[in-house]
Structure 1
């Protein structure tokens, strides 16, 4: 008899607990907007996007733990995890999913049932996210960080005019890098560069591929994909060992030891992404994609010293920001 009573009490408590949890979730949804953020990995440029996105949303009135909650997932560079993260976040049915990087955005749009805002996607049309940059689509918008490749290659020529052979590291498996290498192949001959390409499929391959290129090139250049950018430390080690310049394409990687870059502003890209998310949370749909505009010069004088490069004074005067140390 007592066993039956205890059993019924346990069942009753379980039912009450489940109802309480269900009610709590409903109450949270009444008071909070749920924002899911998915990124492929962490590196300075992507971290700047997410940090400034959240800052912009706060300025727009969407304050964490007051009227919005964030769920953040990071694949830590493992592209194969993107699909799992996409399915997990889609199942939570958030008010909006922010997908950072091209591979993560591609995974999210395949399964999302809510609005999607992508960020730091080099070629949204080529990646199959949108049909056109000029026409809006109902459930997806975002920001593009297409690099100013001609200006970047021109800067290499201005800082190190003796560079003739340029070694380019890139991951052919990333859509952003496929776009980037096409641009580099197009502009390099026009500026008198011969290219030697080094393909990598993981961050671990950056060091050996850079080593293989180093004795045959006058400078190294990291393309616009997350794999090689995450391996900047390995590329920097090779550049210092061989006393050759290492050029990059974003300001965050200059801080990590890249010699120089003409960069779009990733903090500004984050703010623009935050504005798009705010518009979505207010119910707006069919918002055009925002393409980053920027051609600011970033320099690292410590890296220049270690690579044996003297940067012309006129370039230093034009720089938006100069780093005097290499950030860890």
Structure 2
């Protein structure tokens, strides 16, 4: 579904004197493309934070016209929308998630693209280097691959006898999965936990994977992946049903499937991305704006889920937690 929201264009006439020209507002079109679902409240809040930040930053004589595209975790839909966006020739594109950026870059080498919720822009071939991207794309990395080691560490701390741990992802929506797999496997082996890789692409596969992990008394790590995000409520229901503890990648997930979440405050990246789009609208070259890494990270714990799973969170762990979900 495509929603187009246009801000009104105001006409102001200044009289009295031939030397005074009539100022006109400039309309700039910004396409917002995500691999999230339109009816997802968390995703809506993230996108609104981008639009609100851009509206506040925009010059008084600029009216921003937004076009919204939600591909709902479907990479084929993302490709269809990428074609439509490129054909509409917006002044700038804000792209959230790796599949969306990949689809857009296959359609345009000239329209400026600013991204967020992207893991490995160099490995994905989006930019040449972080300091000087050099193409028509730049943006904000949500986390480095080494964060996977922290996910393992936190789950091991709460469950010291955990025999195995799986990392779940969908290779279609997370083609960068190897970026996290190495650190995940190294961290698991360093604390004598068997690492397991679980590639899933349907809700049925999610349930089957979690059921198998339950049989083996394993834990589950959710990789940064729009598939996991879109299906997080199903993951929550099934993991509780089979009593599998879950650690995930940002604090929004602690409201749903995760017992523990450690990762970036993504709303910061969305607001900063608005600043980049503003610079581009004002004439900056996208290839000269450095790719930046999120710098604000949070540790969250869902105390209700811990209680339902029969897991006691020690005071020493709680003393380091930034957010407790009651």
Q: Which interval holds the TM-score relative to the shorter structure?
A: 0.7 to 0.9
Pair 1:288-2:287 in alignment: no
2:220 and 2:209 map into 1 onto residues whose CA distance is: 11
State whether residues 222 and 249 of structure 1, in contact with CA within 8 Å, keep that contact through their aligned partners in structure 2: yes
Which consecutive unaligned segments of at least 5 residues does structure 1 have?
1-24
Pair 1:313-2:309 in alignment: no
Match of residue 299 from structure 1: 301
Q: Per the alignment, do residues 296 and 195 of structure 1 end up closer, same or farther by CA in structure 2, a change over 3 Å counting?
A: same
1:61 is aligned, of 47, 52, 58, to 58
TM-score, scaled relative to structure 2 = 0.84
TM-score, scaled relative to structure 1 = 0.83
1:77 and 1:54 map into 2 onto residues whose CA distance is: 21
Q: Per the alignment, do residues 151 and 158 of structure 1 end up closer, same or farther by CA in structure 2, a change over 3 Å counting?
A: same
Deviation at 1:157, TM superposition (A): 1.9
Deviates more, 1:296-305 or 1:157-166: 157-166
Q: Per the alignment, do residues 293 and 258 of structure 1 end up closer, same or farther by CA in structure 2, a change over 3 Å counting?
A: same
State whether residues 38 and 104 of structure 1, in contact with CA within 8 Å, keep that contact through their aligned partners in structure 2: yes
Pair 1:125-2:127 in alignment: no
Deviations 1:17-64 (A, max 9, x none): xxxxxxxx9x9x96311100111123566444322212221231368x
Deviations 1:204-223 (A, max 9, x none): 53122221222113312211
Does the residue aligned with 1:179 lie in a helix, a strand or coil?
helix
Deviates more, 1:261-270 or 1:222-231: 222-231
Pair 1:81-2:77 in alignment: yes
How many residues align structurally? 298
Deviation at 1:66, TM superposition (A): 6.9
Deviation at 1:282, TM superposition (A): 1.2
2:166 and 2:82 map into 1 onto residues whose CA distance is: 35
Deviation at 1:268, TM superposition (A): 1.0
Match of residue 13 from structure 1: none
1:266 and 1:224 map into 2 onto residues whose CA distance is: 12
Match of residue 164 from structure 1: 163
Pair 1:273-2:273 in alignment: yes
Deviations 1:164-219 (A, max 9, x none): 31122121232233322233123221233211222102345312222122211331
State whether residues 46 and 120 of structure 1, in contact with CA within 8 Å, keep that contact through their aligned partners in structure 2: no
Q: Per the alignment, do residues 108 and 120 of structure 1 end up closer, same or farther by CA in structure 2, a change over 3 Å counting?
A: same
Q: Per the alignment, do residues 125 and 138 of structure 1 end up closer, same or farther by CA in structure 2, a change over 3 Å counting?
A: closer
State whether residues 142 and 294 of structure 2, in contact with CA within 8 Å, keep that contact through their aligned partners in structure 1: yes
2:41 and 2:182 map into 1 onto residues whose CA distance is: 25
Structure with more helix by fraction: 1
Does the residue aligned with 1:243 lie in a helix, a strand or coil?
coil
Does the residue aligned with 1:244 lie in a helix, a strand or coil?
coil
Deviation at 1:229, TM superposition (A): 2.8
Match of residue 50 from structure 1: 47
1:187 and 1:278 map into 2 onto residues whose CA distance is: 40
**1:165-314 equivalence runs, <5 A:** 165-173=164-172, 174-285=174-285, 286-314=288-316
Q: Per the alignment, do residues 289 and 244 of structure 1 end up closer, same or farther by CA in structure 2, a change over 3 Å counting?
A: same
